[in-house]
């Protein structure tokens, strides 16, 4: 059969291979078993309870519908607090690194209770899967039975997508539609469909490189127009600040693979494997082979182009047949998964499209052996490896915990061999102009990647020697409060592995760590200078500020100090408690008297959108605010109530903390998309930047002698997944 540039209807094809009755029965039986496994292990559990990622999308969409500032969904603790307020039965939530557009998929369902909305989403996902299967039937010559086999052989991707309520089924549908349009020469619409997929999950946007390489200008134009349209729509729906936060503060971390825990074996990526082997982190990766960041940067920058460039070179010649176009589309989609920085099993749902196109390619050419080998590798790449993800390997044993990655690498080599095998000789291609350009591209990509990696890693690990309260497996330590003999802080331990995970308060004292918590999430401790009186926020359907006994961790009856209140801050003399009260997600600042029985009074209304506050030793409070398009720090006189901006702070600034001697204010200053610690002399206005690495340093707290800062940092970790460190202040 001779391929052409148009789609051929399967009914027009001559029957080339006799059908085996035994093979048909075996395939039908296998399909029935796989479908039954899908029903029992994915659909029924997902239908029964809402212990899934669907809660992340549902909550973000619900907050948007209710008029909350959606840019805050990327704040771990704020998003968790809103989950508690919404009474969503899910231990932990987190929206990073998802796009805001992906939450719009479930926006119509937010009027329903969470579990009922999840069930509706399951029905919609089944419909999306059926539509994707119908499109695969139209663009391949495969029987329905074999399309079903390829779909349900993707055990881990398919089961995880449905069990966790993920949206990758929509990405699969849109990219399958894009392939259908592409093979029918509707290139512009194909590019638009890819752009719609990129609005859900960002990686399809890299199809632009494929279209440019193949000189498919209409497809590239459609993709660019679609992306611009998605951006304009996001600006209209979510606002400029939300878009800025995503593209400047979230996306770069996602592309580097620094979202959640970058060292976990749960990521099926080269990036995670190399980090596991060669980058030390006291809590998340305490036992690598060695701490060799330069070797990590070298291997990372070398291996990725070594996979990507040869495959692109193999696709660089003109695709003369429809079969060749299918093979190249399948290979490029596969490469996007293989080279992703943090892919989880449900990301690999796109392998269904790759498998259908590749098997169709081999079937047309009667290459049964190649088809069988591909199906074997595809099946191994889609097998669940959940038990391995629970392990904590040490040293070289980490190599044993990335089987899906190795299957993907074998598939990559197999697809490259398939791309190079037909037509002209390999030697002649090596002497071609395209080979020289590919070699240049490899050198440029490797060199630039190495330089960028080294630049990012510079200074990233300097805080390790000053870490405090290190606990192996700790996810988040934040909001430290320093007393005369201890440090209180908010914590999340362990790392996203337990059905009962919750935020707690911890105390580090004399090299020992004590935990406080109970029903609900406990946030943001506050304590007097001697540590004898302590407060925290407990979030359930409402947040409240409670007083708890720090000498009795087992006590389960904290006393409510202020109802409907968040983030307590105590004055230096212990007479006043400041707190934040939100209205539709925007904070106002209030003062509660601990010494007198008087009504609470408001210092700043929700129009300031107060984020943090701190008392000075004098009769004054400072607070940070999202006001007039950036973060600003204000000072309020507690006697007169007068509020004035600290105009000497010209950067976007948060997390104010005043030294006990009243001479200095420490704060976070946003520079280059990350937060750096700065101290300022309150009399002279002189400022000193204390941190410089390409990571966030936030929530500083002064030692009693005003000589040290304890702060939270995600340096060497992941976005917002902070540990506590200290540094000396030398004015």
The predicted structure's pLDDT at residue 499: 52
- Is pLDDT at 51 greater than 80 in this prediction? no
Question: Quick one: 491 and 395 in the same domain?
Answer: no
Per-residue pLDDT tens digits for 464-508 = 999 997 666 678 999 999 999 999 999 987 544 445 678 999 999
Token pair for 612: 């943090």
- Stronger pLDDT, 557 or 108, i.e. the higher one: 108
Share of the chain above pLDDT 70, in %: 93
Q: How far is Cα 266 from Cα 499, in angstroms, rounded to an integer?
A: 17
Please give the backbone phi and psi of residue 701, each rounded to the nearest 5 degrees, phi first.
Answer: -140, 135
- Domains held by the chain: number: 3
Asked if residue 550 and residue 453 are part of one domain, the reply reads: no
Residue 387 pLDDT level (bands cut at 50, 70, 90) = confident
Residues 351, 385 within the same domain: yes
Same domain, 466 and 453: no
* Token pair recorded at residue 269: 């990526």
Residue pointed to by tokens 């719009």: 104
Task: State how far the Cα of 123 lies from the Cα of 545, in Å rounded to an integer.
Answer: 41
58 domain-assigned: no
Residue 681 lies in a domain: yes
| Whole-number Cα distances in Å, 545 to 437, 536, 559, 592, 709 | 64, 6, 9, 11, 25
Pick 644 or 473 by higher pLDDT.
644
Domain boundary among 255, 275, 297: 255
- Same domain (yes/no): 534, 592: yes
6 is a domain residue = no
pLDDT band at 2 (very low <50, low <70, confident <90, very high): very low
Helix (H, G, I), strand (E, B) or coil at 409: helix
Per-residue pLDDT band at 411 (split at 50, 70, 90): very high
pLDDT at 184 over 90: yes
Query: In which band, very low, low, confident or very high, does the pLDDT at 548 lie, cut at 50, 70 and 90?
Result: very high
Average pLDDT in the chain? 91
Instruction: Report, as an integer, the average pLDDT of 654-667.
Output: 96
Both 431 and 452 in a single domain?
A: yes
Question: Tell me: the pLDDT tens digits for 625-638?
Answer: 998 889 999 999 98
Signed CA dihedral, 408, 414, 418, 421: sign only: positive
pLDDT tier, 338 (very low <50, low <70, confident <90, very high otherwise): very high
**Residue 14 confidence (pLDDT):** 43
% of the chain surpassing 90 pLDDT: 81
Residue 428's pLDDT band, with cuts at 50, 70 and 90, is low
> Which residues on adjacent β-strands are paired with residue 487?
482, 508
- What range defines the domain where residue 528 resides? 462-728
pLDDT at 183: 95
Tally of CB atoms within 10 A around 361: 25
pLDDT band at 15 (very low <50, low <70, confident <90, very high): very low
Q: Are residues 504 and 542 in the same domain?
A: yes
Choosing from 457, 486, 505, the residue where a domain stops is 457
Q: Does residue 615 share a domain with residue 505?
A: yes
718/704 same-domain check? yes
Residue 350 and residue 239 share a domain: no
Query: How far, in Å, CA of 354 to CA of 357, rounded?
Result: 5
One domain, residues 520 and 594:
yes
Tell me if 469 is assigned to some domain.
Answer: yes
What is the Cα–Cα distance from 193 to 219, expressed in whole angstroms?
Answer: 10
pLDDT at residue 520, as a whole number: 85
What lies within 8 Å, CB to CB, of 673 at 6+ separation is 248, 249, 252
- 498: domain CATH number is 2.120.10.30
User: Does residue 385 have a cis bond before it (omega within 30 degrees)?
Assistant: no
Residue 376 CB contacts under 8 Å (≥ 6 apart), including other chains: none
Residues 269-319 have pLDDT tens digits of 999 999 999 999 999 999 999 999 999 999 999 999 999 999 999 887 666
User: Is residue 247 domain-shared with residue 318, that is, in the same domain?
Assistant: no
- By mean pLDDT, which of 5-14, 50-59, 435-444, 665-674 is the weakest? 5-14
Ramachandran region, residue 662 (left: φ > 0; alpha: ψ -120 to 50; beta: rest): left
Q: Tokens 């029964």 belong to which residue?
A: 48
Determine the angle formed by the axes of helices 168-183 and 155-163, rounding to 10 degrees: 120
404: nearest Cα among 182, 160, 642, 728: 160
Is residue 205 within 8 A of residue 25, CB to CB? The reply is no
Closest CA to 625 of 649, 598, 662, 655: 655
Identify whether the C-beta of residue 182 lies closer than 8 Å to the C-beta of residue 325. Answer: yes
The Cα–Cα gap between 680 and 665 comes to: 5
Where residue 391 falls among pLDDT bands split at 50, 70, 90?
confident
The residue that leads in pLDDT, 689 or 266, is 689
> Which pLDDT value is given to residue 475?
84
User: Higher confidence at residue 226 or residue 641?
Assistant: 226
**HEC assignment per residue over 508-524:** EECCEEEEECCCCEEEE
Answer left, alpha or beta for residue 215, where phi above 0 means left and psi between -120 and 50 means alpha: left
Question: Cα 121 vs. chain centroid, distance in angstroms?
Answer: 21
pLDDT bucket at 431, cuts 50 / 70 / 90:
low
* pLDDT of 600 higher than 60: yes
pLDDT exceeds 90 at position 8:
no
Local structure of residue 401 (DSSP, 8 states): G
Answer whether residue 10 shows pLDDT above 80.
no
The answer to whether position 37 is within a domain reads no
Task: Flag whether 164 is in a domain.
Answer: yes
Please say if the pLDDT value at position 454 is more than 70.
Answer: yes
The residues that bridge with 482 in the sheet, in sequence order, are: 487
Is 554 inside any structural domain? yes
> Rounded to 5, what percent of the chain is helix, strand, coil?
45, 20, 35
pLDDT score at 6: 43
- Look at residue 472 and tell me if it is in a domain: yes
Structure tokens at 61: 């969409």
Q: What is the pLDDT of residues 678-710, one digit of tens each?
A: 999 999 999 999 999 999 999 999 999 999 999
Q: Domain boundary residue among 255, 272, 298?
A: 255
Residues 191-195: what's their mean pLDDT?
Answer: 98
Compare 90 and 452 and report the one with higher pLDDT. Answer: 452
């Amino acid at each position: 059969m001779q391929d052409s540039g148009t789609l051929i209807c399967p009914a027009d094809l001559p029957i080339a291979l006799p059908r085996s009755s035994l093979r048909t029965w075996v395939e039908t039986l296998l399909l029935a078993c796989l479908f039954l496994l899908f029903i029992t292990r994915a659909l029924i559990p997902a239908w029964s309870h809402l212990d899934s990622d669907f809660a992340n999308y549902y909550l973000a969409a619900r907050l948007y519908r209710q008029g909350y500032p959606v840019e805050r969904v990327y704040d771990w603790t704020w998003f968790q607090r809103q989950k508690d307020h919404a009474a969503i039965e899910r231990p932990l939530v987190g929206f990073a690194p998802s796009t805001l557009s992906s939450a719009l998929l479930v926006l119509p369902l937010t009027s329903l209770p969470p579990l009922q909305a999840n069930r509706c989403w399951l029905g919609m996902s089944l419909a999306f899967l059926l539509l994707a299967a119908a499109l695969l039937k139209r663009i391949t010559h495969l029987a329905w039975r074999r399309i079903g086999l390829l779909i349900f052989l993707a055990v881990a991707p398919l089961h995880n997508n449905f069990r966790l309520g993920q949206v990758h089924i929509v990405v699969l549908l849109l990219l399958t539609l894009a392939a259908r349009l592409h093979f029918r020469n509707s290139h512009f619409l194909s590019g638009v469909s890819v752009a719609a997929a990129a609005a859900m999950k960002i990686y399809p946007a890299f199809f632009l490189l494929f279209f440019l390489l193949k000189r498919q200008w209409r497809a590239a134009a459609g993709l660019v127009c679609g992306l611009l349209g998605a951006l304009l729509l996001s600006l209209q729906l979510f606002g400029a600040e939300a878009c800025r936060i995503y593209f400047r503060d979230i996306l770069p971390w996602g592309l580097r693979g620094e979202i959640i825990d970058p060292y976990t074996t749960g990521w099926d990526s080269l990036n995670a494997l190399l980090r596991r082997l060669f980058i030390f982190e006291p809590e998340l990766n305490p036992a690598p082979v060695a701490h060799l960041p330069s070797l990590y940067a070298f291997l990372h920058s070398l291996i990725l182009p070594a996979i990507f460039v040869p495959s692109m070179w193999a696709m660089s010649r003109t695709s003369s047949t429809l079969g060749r176009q299918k093979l190249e589309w399948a290979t490029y989609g596969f490469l996007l998964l293989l080279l992703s920085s943090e892919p989880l099993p449900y990301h690999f749902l796109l392998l269904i499209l790759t498998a259908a196109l590749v098997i169709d390619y081999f079937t047309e050419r009667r290459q049964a052996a190649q088809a069988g080998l591909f199906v074997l590798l595809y099946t191994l790449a889609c097998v669940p490896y959940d038990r391995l993800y629970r392990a904590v390997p040490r040293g070289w044993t980490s190599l044993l915990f990335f089987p899906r990655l190795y299957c993907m690498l074998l598939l990559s080599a197999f697809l490259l061999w398939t791309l190079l095998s037909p037509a002209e000789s390999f030697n002649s291609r090596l002497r071609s102009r395209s080979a020289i350009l590919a070699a240049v591209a490899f050198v440029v990509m490797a060199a630039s990647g190495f330089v960028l990696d080294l630049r990012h890693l510079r200074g990233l690990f300097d805080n390790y020697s000053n870490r405090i309260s290190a606990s192996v497996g700790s996810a988040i330590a934040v909001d430290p409060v320093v007393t005369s003999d201890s440090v209180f802080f908010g914590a999340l331990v362990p790392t996203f592995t337990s059905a009962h995970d919750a935020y707690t308060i911890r105390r580090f004292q004399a090299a020992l760590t004590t935990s406080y918590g109970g029903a609900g999430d406990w946030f943001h401790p506050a304590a007097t200078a001697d540590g004898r009186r302590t407060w925290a926020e407990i979030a359930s359907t409402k947040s409240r500020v409670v007083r708890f006994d720090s000498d009795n961790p087992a006590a389960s009856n904290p006393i409510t100090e202020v109802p409907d209140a968040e983030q307590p801050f105590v004055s230096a003399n212990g007479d006043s408690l400041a707190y934040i009260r939100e209205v539709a997600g925007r904070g106002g600042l209030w003062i509660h008297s601990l010494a007198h029985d008087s009504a609470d009074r408001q210092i700043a209304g929700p129009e300031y959108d107060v984020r943090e506050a701190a008392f000075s030793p004098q009769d004054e409070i400072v607070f940070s605010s999202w006001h007039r398009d950036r973060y600003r720090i204000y000072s309020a006189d507690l006697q007169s109530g007068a509020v004035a901006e600290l105009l000497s702070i010209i950067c976007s600034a948060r997390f104010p903390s005043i030294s006990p001697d009243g001479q200095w204010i420490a704060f976070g200053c946003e520079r280059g998309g990350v937060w750096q610690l700065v101290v300022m002399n309150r009399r002279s206005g002189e400022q000193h930047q204390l941190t410089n690495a390409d990571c966030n340093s936030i929530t500083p707290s002064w030692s009693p002698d005003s000589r040290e800062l304890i702060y939270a940092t995600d340096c060497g970790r992941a976005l917002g997944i902070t540990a506590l460190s200290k540094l000396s202040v030398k004015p």
